[in-house]
Chain A
Amino acid sequence: MPYTHNGKLMSKQILNGDNFASFFTDRQIICQTSIADRDDLVMEMLTLLAMTRGIGNVQDIYSRVMEHNAGDTTVIGNGIAIPHARIDNIKEPMVAIATSVDGIRFAHDSDLSHLIILVLVPNDQPATYLRILSALGRILQDKDVATSAAELTEAKDIEKFFHRGGMLLPDYVCAADIMLPPETTLHETHSLKDAIDLFVARDLTEIPVIDKADELTGVVTAEALLRVCLPDYILWMDDLSPILHFEPFIDILRKEENTWLAEISTDTYACVQVSEPAIAVAEAMARYKTSVCYVLHDKKLAGTITLPHFLNKIMRY
């Protein structure tokens, strides 16, 4: 077994095409639980994992799962809840499954969940949880899966159900897997005034500019706006007295309604295609020294990924 430089056991790397069903056996499945409380069920599932596979201190891991859950990172939908946590003491992903006929509420505003999949991932396997979610993508979108599974009375049947599903982990996490829908966009025909209004009202630092076909044509940034107001030739001066009363900004204020966004938008920005590996997002942001990457479907703007969001998804999720 390989070791890391500080003597810790290295986790087994998850290979491309690993089947999700290989992460559990019928011994980690609780059929038609009578537990109605979310926290009690999670503790029960962790205890089961501790007894059958060994995961370390159950109480600590329980706290980690609850911490994640409080951060709204638990995927909930169509009667399925997938609580998860990243922990140190395991070498490969571990999964416990529970079904509930009556259903359990995992969040205050969510529907009842009938199929609960608890996922524990080694801390040194970035994005494994995202790959597992991607493998479960088909059942997450099927409204009947959770109720059908909850009707099964034998753990063996549930195990077979997942084996039959052929839920293979994808080769890599795509940009589309971690992107968020574009929060704000501006059209080419908007003026500089509209951009400044948005910068101020929404506390933004950059806004994508799209055309009539929703294709990304450029990005307008607060930094570019500042550079328009304070170009190099003004910054050369040591003496600030000529601009003490924001004189260069006055000029912009006078013509902000007549200035089209195209004049200050830049066509140099970080972007990737939806199908590109998520690591391309990090590469683009590093290359362009920016904290926002735009995800395109051909030329259309499909989503955005900010650096904090990327770090959360890859390093903490």
Chain B
Amino acid sequence: MHVDSEPRITLREGLPRAVVMIALAIVAGWLTTFLGTPDYPIEQKQIMAVSIFVLIISATLLFWTIRLAIAFLGIAIMLGMNVMTLPEMIMKTELHIILFLVGMMTLVGVLKDLGLFTWIIQIVINARKMSGKRFTLILVLLSGIMPGLVDEVTSIVFVLALVFQVCDTLKVRPLPFVMMAVMATNVGSTGTMLGNPVGILIGSKAGLTFGSFLVHATPIMFASLMATLLLLLFWYRKDIALLDERLKQRRAEHLGLGPLVRIPYRRGLIIMISSLVLIALHHNLETWLGVADNTMLIVAPLAIAGVLMIYRNRRARHYIERDVEWWTLLFFMMLFAVAGALDSTGVTKNIAVHFTDTFGTNKYFLTPFIVGVTAVGSAFVDNIVFVAAFIPIVKSLVTDHPELHPLWWAMLFGSCFGGNITAIGSTANIVALGMLEKSHNTHVSFFEWLKVGAVVGLVTCLIAASIILIFYYGDASVSAEAQQVLEQLAAPHLAAP
């Protein structure tokens, strides 16, 4: 989403926030001094890393509209104070994740241009015997499945176009259906590696493949999506009944829900299916080509984007300049580098040691704990920020205790499902509410969202934690993944990019 202008932060507003941010950084630095152990004593560099990390994270939250500027300054401070070196910084920016996202955003731009999303919307508005419940079912399924194929932001933008078209035509308030779409999108974004930047970040750090997401994440996503559907059908039953009534009236008058045009959709559909197949087969291709794990996962979207830019060379520059969200991607790079400094200075090792000393390694405690903490954290802090901060701890924990590998899944589901709890919990929520405000001048209060969001968040988190606890610990495939990650860590030259 492109925002033309943001409100200016005045000195009067900024000063108290700056004081809070500096106080938090000082407290965090002071607390770090207690993290030392006989094996891993705390050094001044680590105190600096934690202080600057907390300073930057709190600054990005308190000055969200200028978060990229804050992140730039944070990197400059880290380098200037020798907390990390330039090569370390460049390595920690996770360039491979950024390139993956650039490729995917370019692909999505081409698919939009070719009318694939228009075609999908037309299928829904042209559906025969549409009823309120059927529309809700289609909306939730579409919102749940699409993020896994494109990404959550693209998905919510296109699903909301459908919601506004139907609600405006039928003169019903769009808010309930917008909330249904957003909640299903947050749940659905966990289904594959493509759904959410958190997915690709965790996948990359945990050495997970597209296939492992299909095996372990997709079933939990579908179980949670069905629970979400049932909750939303009950919660918004009056709005669904009104939509049903209006649909019947409109059908009686032989009127449709919007203009329908013949879309040459085949090109777009073929491109999307081929791209997904190529990405899904990345592990097989890597084995066949003898390249490091996840290399083809990154290469595939870039190669597809390259081919599409040659095919649509007239629009190539447009895709890169307009469809790639450079602001967001640059922020991710800086954020990853700042979080990486904790890892490179070894402070995460100390945190992980204290974590296991305090909470032990009991899966029955750690799994719901990680799901709960990441869910609550992501409800108030952008989930990528929270996950970037949490990854080094989980990584260190899993390295020392490989049997706790399913904690990666706990973090994925907690951080994505937690996004449903509040109106600011995920990028999809913020984009959707912005669209609703712009098009319908409708605002959603914090508590209006929280009432339904907390229920959906709690139920889906319980489902995810239960499935992980019952099925994933001791699972042979999960253990194999853990073993693979350990081997990669032992032989860095073979590690994922």
Residues of chain A at the chain B interface (Cβ within 8 Å) = 228-234, 236-239, 241-243, 247-248, 251-252, 255, 258-259, 262-263, 268
Contacts and interface: CB of A to CB of B under 8 A. Distances in A.
The interface centre, meaning the residue of B117, B259, B260, B315 with most chain A CB atoms within 10 A of its CB, is B259
9 contacts: A231-B258, A233-B118, A236-B115, A236-B118, A237-B112, A237-B263, A239-B114, A239-B115, A255-B254
Contacts of A247: 259, 261-262
B253 interface: yes
Contacts of B361: none
B122 interface: yes
Contacts of B118: 233-234, 236-237
A231 B114 contact: no
A233 B117 contact: yes
The interface centre, meaning the residue of A229, A231, A255 with most chain B CB atoms within 10 A of its CB, is A231
Interface of B: 112-115, 117-118, 121-122, 158, 161-162, 164-165, 169, 171, 253-256, 258-264, 315, 441
A268 B438 CA distance: 12
Contacts of B255: 255, 258-259
Contact of B114 (A228, A237, A255, A258): A237
Chain A contact surface mostly: helix
Contacts of A258: 253-255
Contact of B165 (A233, A237, A251, A252): A233
A24 to B, nearest CB: 50
Given A237-B114, A238-B113, A251-B260, 12 more contacts: A229-B259, A231-B161, A231-B165, A233-B165, A236-B112, A236-B113, A236-B115, A236-B117, A237-B118, A237-B263, A243-B261, A258-B254
Given A233-B122, A262-B171, A263-B171, A242 B259 contact: no
Contacts of A229: 259
A252 B259 contact: yes
A278 B255 CA distance: 43
B158 A233 contact: yes
A238 B114 CA distance: 7
Nearest to A258: B253
Given A237-B113, A239-B114, A242-B115, A251 B263 contact: no
B259 A231 contact: yes
Nearest to B440: A268
B374 to A, nearest CB: 34
A239 B264 contact: yes
A312 B56 CA distance: 54
A229 B260 CA distance: 10
A241 B264 contact: yes
Contact of A242 (B158, B169, B264): B264
The interface centre, meaning the residue of A230, A239, A243 with most chain B CB atoms within 10 A of its CB, is A239
Contacts of A231: 161, 165, 258-259
Contact of A238 (B164, B165, B315): B315
